[in-house]
Amino acid sequence: MRKIIDTTIETIIFICGILSIIFVVLIFGFLFKEGFAFFKSFGIIEFITGRFWYPTSNTPSFGIFPFIIGSILVTVGACIIAVPIGVMTALYISEVAPKGIRDVLKSAVELMTAIPSVVVGFVGMVTLVPFIRTLFNIPTGLTAFSGSIMLAFMAMPTIVTISEDAMRSVPWQYKEGALALGATKWQTIRRIVLKAAMPGVIAAIMLGVGRVIGETMTVMMITGNSARIPLSIFEPVRTMTAVVAAEMGETVRGGMHYKSLFAIALVLFLITFIINFIADLFLGKNKNK
């Protein structure tokens, strides 16, 4: 009897174990099915390089190029802000900060992940957006730049925690070796710790990028949702995620517009898949040391 119970439970556990694979395949399959149907009637090249998004016009046009540019612009902007600050914060927490406040600092950085993205978007809308408008004297503060700033804060915890882990796992012999040769602590940090932790830091940055590209509510609320190709970072943009979230509610289920949004989701899925895959390779590299 006990044997039967054991086997049954172990079978259930095994099924739960492989469920993740099933879900990934299901998600990909589902997006692919709808996306593929779309690409059959609207070319994939035209879809990616098209400059015009008129999904509901009589002769509809589904060019997502402006949204790709929008996503890239916001992401690059966020990285320029978040990467230096994030890596320096990680260095401070892992190498410089006194032991007592290390955990406090780490928790404070992690607190940001707890704040829902709508709340971040809302606060950005009422504080940052008007500030940007008056500061740069532009017609609207709903710009790619505002989005980059808010997203930089949201990517920060990922970058800080993962790089900090990598820095902390640098073998102490490396540091002692450098110090024994007469290097100052800072020289050791910069030349030894940072270098040895580099794969982990790169992984952290990639995961941060993945987070920024996938972020939806915040960008929808503060980047202005303009479907035009932006000429500078101080213009409104629309990201791929924002298009999907903003337009899904108005589509006819099963229609071309509906399918085109699945095609965008498919593009997003593939981008994040590649990013996470590469990040994982870098993390693996760090562990093998």
Partner 1 sequence: MIKLSPKLSQRLSYTILFLATLLAIIPVSAIIFTIIKNGASAITWEFLTAMPKNGMHGGGILPAILGTLSIVTCTIVITLPIGVCAAIYLNEYAKDNLLTRIIKLAIINLAGVPSVVYGLFGLGIFVMFLKLDVSIIAGALTLSIMELPVIITTSRSALNSVPYSFREASLSLGVSRWQTIRYIVLPNALPGILTGAILSISRISGETAPVLFTAAAFSVPHLPHSIFDQVMVLPYHLYIISTQIPNMPKNIIFGTALVLLMMVLTMSFIAIVARIYFRKRRKW
Q: Which of residues 147-176 bind partner 1 (CB under 8 A)?
A: 153, 156, 160
Question: 51 or 224, CB closer to partner 1?
Answer: 224
Task: Write phi, then psi, for 237 (nearest 5 degrees).
Answer: -135, 170
Contact 200, 163 (CB under 8 A): yes
Label residue 135 left, alpha or beta by phi (over 0 means left) and psi (-120 to 50 means alpha).
alpha
β-bridge pairing 53-54 and 61-62: antiparallel
Q: How far apart are CA 128 and CA 150, in angstroms?
A: 9
Q: Which of 215, 224, 260, 286 binds partner 1 (CB under 8 A)?
A: 215
Please count the residues of this chain forming the interface with partner 1, following the rule CB under 8 A.
84
Q: Which of 4, 114, 180, 231 binds partner 1 (CB under 8 A)?
A: 114
Count Cβ atoms below 10 Å from residue 251 Cβ, excluding itself.
Answer: 16
The pattern of x and - marking residues 217 through 256 that bind partner 1 according to CB under 8 A reads: x---x-------------------x--xx--xx---x---
Give me the least distance between CB of 114 and partner 1, in Å please.
4
Q: Which of 119, 130, 232, 289 binds partner 1 (CB under 8 A)?
A: 119
281 binds partner 1 (CB under 8 A): no
Question: Which helix (H) or strand (E) covers residue 20, if one does?
Answer: helix 2-41
- Name residues contacting partner 1, limited to 36-75 (CB under 8 A): none
Nearest to 286 by CA among 191, 173, 204, 185: 204
- Name residues contacting partner 1, limited to 17-36 (CB under 8 A): 17-21, 23-24, 26-27, 30-31, 34
117: amino acid identity, one letter: S
Question: 15 or 232, CB closer to partner 1?
Answer: 15
Q: Which of 49, 130, 177, 185 binds partner 1 (CB under 8 A)?
A: 185
